[in-house]
Structure 1
Amino acid sequence: MSKEILYLKIAKIIEEQIATGTLKTGEKLPSIRTVQKIYNVSINTVKQAFLELESKSLIESRPKSGYYVSRAFNTRLALPSINKLHLSDKEKTPEDLIGKVFNTLTNKDFTQFSLGVVDKSMLPIAKLNKGIIKVLRNLEDSGTGYEPAQGNINLRRNIAKWSFTWDGHLTEDDIVTTSGALNALFYSLITVTNPGDTVAIESPVYFGILQMIKSLGLNIIELPTHPVTGVAIEDLKKVLPKIKACCFVTNFNNPLGSCMPEENKKEVVRLLTKHNIPLIEDDLYGDLFFGPSRPKPCKAFDEAGIVMWCGSVSKTLAPGYRVGWVSPGKFKEKLIRKKLLHTMSSPPLFQEVIADFMEYGRYEHHLRGLRNTLYNNYLFFQRTIEEYFPENTKISKPQGGFVLWLELDPKIDTAVLYDIAVQHKIGFAPGRMFTQHDQYNNCMRLNFAIKWDEKVEHSLKSLGTLIKQQL
């Protein structure tokens, strides 16, 4: 048995012990040396196994003390269910719900668990403002001129440098800048598909991706998604003959928070390369990990150029700047032509500001604080839900990002619950927004990237009470 398989096997045994409650929250794990003796393996193999568990937020290391079962993992609430593969289901479009939710977003009295952005209190706004002044002073035409269609050279250089955080070996020439990640997905889709083609996506999936794919006249296959490990390879294999492209959020997807294991990412890239099917990879949340290191995107394993790696700073730094990018692999020239046709060029000012922010390590410094805040918020939310929501509530266990997926009693319709919650000035995203089928009616997505205070805690408790009243 290879060393690689061995460490995964040990990690899996410990993971099962945590899942079944044999190892309880806060309990100390046997030492690395003890595990080494039990399994008769090298110290390095055990360290790799522990690293694997840490990257899933299952265990946490405490300096000079050892490894413990993470507070985040063990909850008495079960994981959400995995849906079935629907290949010919009748559609039930979610536009009615999306419109309703967006109508309340500007209401300042609301506790907004519905919007998928980071609260402004968590953003370095003063530093970004200084960056704008600095850039305006130094830009030759104060940002009024056109950029090349490929995008700002300074930003592309910094994104390429940043790719080293996940073992990426990109150069500035591999990157095309866009107006946010959705715009990157849009250019990628129109580059590799034509109306009538079919695209495979995760399910549940962010409604913006769903709406965009539909608007381009494309068909959709929703693949069942495990709340921890993402899309199953076997389900992907079943649909390969039918699809022209895949669009996956492989790291901490929205709304489930699942993160595809590295082995699965390698296999996905291998399969799609073999069938020459492009993978549009939305890596929007990859930098918001709770474990010790950033999970690699599928792009890290792409040798044939079939992965179109998309990202932005919309979820980490400045949502309104609309600064995003794509590394389109072998489709670069065609994608640049599409961008030239649609938007000519991206606004240079905010690209320069973000490039400047990334240049001197400020982005990494900001991310460290943000990740810490988000992880603590996740624990606050998890404990409050466990205490105040019905006992049969199921809850996702994201290893990064900032959204929670809840599955309630089958008798609850979250579209009806939403109308009741709005009267109590509480907003959330009902589950049916995240599919084209009639499903997830008893599910909801909550954003935990909001400032945790008494009002938020009270609103979360009230939401739990409203659910109990509905039962």
Structure 2
Amino acid sequence: MKRYEKYADDIAELIRSGVLAPGQRVPSVRYASQAHGISPSTVFQAYYLLERRGMIRARPRSGYFVNPGALVQPAQAFSEPQVSAHVSESTEVDVSELVFSVLDSIKDPNTVPFGSAFPSPMLFPLQRLSRSLASASRDMDPRMVVTDMSPGHPQLRRQIALRYMVGGLMLPMEELLITNGALEALNLCLQAVTEPGDLVAIEAPAFYACLQVLERLKLKAVEIPVHPRDGIDLGILAQTLERYPIKACWCMTSFQNPTGALVPEARKRELVELLRKHQVPLIEDDVYAELYFGPHAPKPAKAFDTDGLVMHCGSFAKSLAPGYRIGWVAAGRYAQKIERLKLMTSLCASMPVQAAIADYLQHGGYDRHLRKLRYALEDQQRAMLAAVSRYFPAQTRVSQPAGGYFLWLELPESVDSLHVFRVALAQGISIAPGPIFSPARRFAHCIRLNYGSPWTEAAEKAMETLGRIIRSMLGH
């Protein structure tokens, strides 16, 4: 055993035995080095190892502290949700009214927001972003407001291209277009490759905004089952491509909403090759890509695109600044068409806001913020899984994603998730019921829960109440 591993094990034992309590500061690097006769680099290696294990976390300029969730164990007793059943027919999409009723439920600040699509704004560096906005607005060349309307602020596009490069993906800046959030990027991508009445392959379950876009554009959905851990079923997708004139495939390849599924790298390569064979464009919705829990970021399907068929859509809404509404698309062969569609609709995203995010990416410590955000989300996932284990029926199946901030729960079949939604909302708890994730309103006994807010006594009580509501439907 190496010296840093031995020291890490010693600290871990102090945490497990309660000598170092949750939230307590662990020995400083200098003190540990002197007290144990080891080098500062050895101490750092030990603390990095404990960070990866989720036992401690760094606080800027304060040192390392015991992670509040260090001793909370995931609910290992639960099975993962089953793969959704395959429905071969195409479906007209009509879910908006149901979706709007769910979205309205989270507007009340006193409601526990388990049904929200966003993490808590308290997890974002909003004050630092405000300083970047003030600075960027003051220094911005006024001519840029006109000359760079589309494809977007050049410095922001450059920063995004650099982040792709760090991840091993070299993209020309000409391929990048800044949009009003990822949702506009996804809308533009669909408009670029479809006409009303066309068929689009989507996931089942699918993010409800995807369904609303199809509904608005008068497109038909062909649902492809999603494995709760490995993502879209490539076998069924292959059969669908042979059987139907699919014009596009919309897929979340990393930490899919609502299941949290992460398509393994080899399967992402297969997905791109399968679609290349049929010359069907992939609209890759990858807004959760930065929210991974392990040591390495997952590669996007775009990394395996050699024909320009993958339109990779990202956003800062889930990782940095939800209210700023800045997203982008790396549009491949469709870049010019999408840029022209953008000019015909919204012209450009806010230039001062683009400049602010560019400034933050360059000077604000984005990677440091992401590191803290990932630790927080991982802690909160542990806490929610533990609450599910304590309060929900034993037959409950739960996803355990390696990133993002959603759990997908499959309840006993006799439970009506829309009824759970209504009863819970009356008690100040919002959830996302399964039917909003399907054009045919399937998944009636499933719910999506958001663990993107700091875990509080109110959240714990809300989970206890949810469990009680669900059990009452089973006669428990």
**1:252 and 2:255 equivalent?**
yes
Between 1:102-111 and 1:133-142, the stretch displaced more is 133-142
Aligned partner letter, 1:195: P
Report Cα offsets for 1:384-422 as digits up to 9, x if no partner.
101111110110111100011111111110101111111
The aligned counterpart of 1:221 is: 222
The aligned counterpart of 1:187 is: 188
Distance 2:251 2:91 in 1: 23
The aligned counterpart of 2:338 is: 335
The aligned counterpart of 1:203 is: 204
**1:163 and 2:164 equivalent?**
yes
Distance 2:221 2:233 in 1: 17
Conserved 8 A contact 2:75-2:389: no
Distance 2:452 2:143 in 1: 34
Distance 2:231 2:286 in 1: 14
**1:416 and 2:419 equivalent?**
yes
Secondary structure at the aligned position of 2:284 is classed as strand
Secondary structure at the aligned position of 1:244 is classed as strand
RMSD over aligned CA atoms reads 2.1
- Decide whether aligned partners of structure 1 residues 91 and 145 sit closer, same or farther in structure 2, where only a CA change above 3 A counts: closer
Distance 1:379 1:175 in 2: 36
The aligned counterpart of 2:174 is: 173
Distance 1:75 1:264 in 2: 26
Distance 2:122 2:143 in 1: 29
The aligned counterpart of 1:394 is: 397
Map 1:364-383 to 2 at 5 A. Answer: 364-383=367-386
Distance 1:452 1:361 in 2: 27
Aligned partner letter, 1:208: A
Aligned partner letter, 1:457: E
Conserved 8 A contact 1:179-1:346: yes
Distance 1:72 1:223 in 2: 33
Aligned partner letter, 1:173: E
Distance 2:334 2:363 in 1: 31
Distance 1:163 1:441 in 2: 39
Conserved 8 A contact 1:72-1:397: no
**1:385 and 2:392 equivalent?**
no
Conserved 8 A contact 2:311-2:332: yes
Aligned partner letter, 1:167: G
Distance 2:181 2:473 in 1: 39
**1:86 and 2:87 equivalent?**
yes
Distance 2:452 2:330 in 1: 28
Secondary structure at the aligned position of 2:138 is classed as helix
Map 1:30-179 to 2 at 5 A. Answer: 75-88=76-89, 93-141=94-142, 145=146, 147-179=148-180
The aligned counterpart of 1:277 is: 280
- Decide whether aligned partners of structure 1 residues 119 and 433 sit closer, same or farther in structure 2, where only a CA change above 3 A counts: same
Shift of 1:90: 6.7
Conserved 8 A contact 2:115-2:430: yes
Conserved 8 A contact 1:82-1:226: yes
Distance 1:320 1:331 in 2: 28
Shift of 1:89: 7.0
Distance 1:382 1:61 in 2: 15
Distance 1:148 1:90 in 2: 37
Distance 2:101 2:190 in 1: 28
Report Cα offsets for 1:42-62 as digits up to 9, x if no partner.
xxxxxxxxxxxxxxxxx9599
Distance 1:90 1:331 in 2: 27
Secondary structure at the aligned position of 2:263 is classed as coil
Match for residue 456 of structure 1 among 454, 459, 462: 459
Secondary structure at the aligned position of 1:221 is classed as strand
Distance 1:220 1:89 in 2: 5
Aligned partner letter, 2:206: V
Map 1:235-384 to 2 at 5 A. Answer: 235-241=236-242, 242=244, 243-360=246-363, 362-384=365-387
- Decide whether aligned partners of structure 1 residues 134 and 392 sit closer, same or farther in structure 2, where only a CA change above 3 A counts: same
The aligned counterpart of 1:442 is: 445
Distance 2:293 2:412 in 1: 29
- Decide whether aligned partners of structure 1 residues 391 and 74 sit closer, same or farther in structure 2, where only a CA change above 3 A counts: closer
Distance 2:472 2:215 in 1: 37
Aligned partner letter, 2:212: Q
Conserved 8 A contact 1:166-1:300: no
Q: Which runs of 5+ in 2 are unaligned?
A: 1-15, 17-51, 57-70
Question: How many percent identity over aligned positions?
Answer: 35
Secondary structure at the aligned position of 1:416 is classed as helix
Distance 1:326 1:97 in 2: 29
Conserved 8 A contact 1:160-1:172: yes
| TM-score under structure 1 length normalisation | 0.83
The aligned counterpart of 1:44 is: none
Conserved 8 A contact 2:92-2:219: no
Conserved 8 A contact 1:157-1:171: no
Shift of 1:337: 1.1
- Decide whether aligned partners of structure 1 residues 142 and 114 sit closer, same or farther in structure 2, where only a CA change above 3 A counts: farther
Aligned partner letter, 2:158: R
Distance 2:126 2:143 in 1: 20
Conserved 8 A contact 1:92-1:438: no
- Decide whether aligned partners of structure 1 residues 361 and 265 sit closer, same or farther in structure 2, where only a CA change above 3 A counts: farther
Distance 1:71 1:454 in 2: 15
Distance 1:264 1:285 in 2: 18
Secondary structure at the aligned position of 2:122 is classed as helix
Conserved 8 A contact 1:143-1:349: no
Aligned partner letter, 1:108: P
Secondary structure at the aligned position of 2:103 is classed as helix
Report Cα offsets for 1:345-374 as digits up to 9, x if no partner.
222011111111111361111100000000
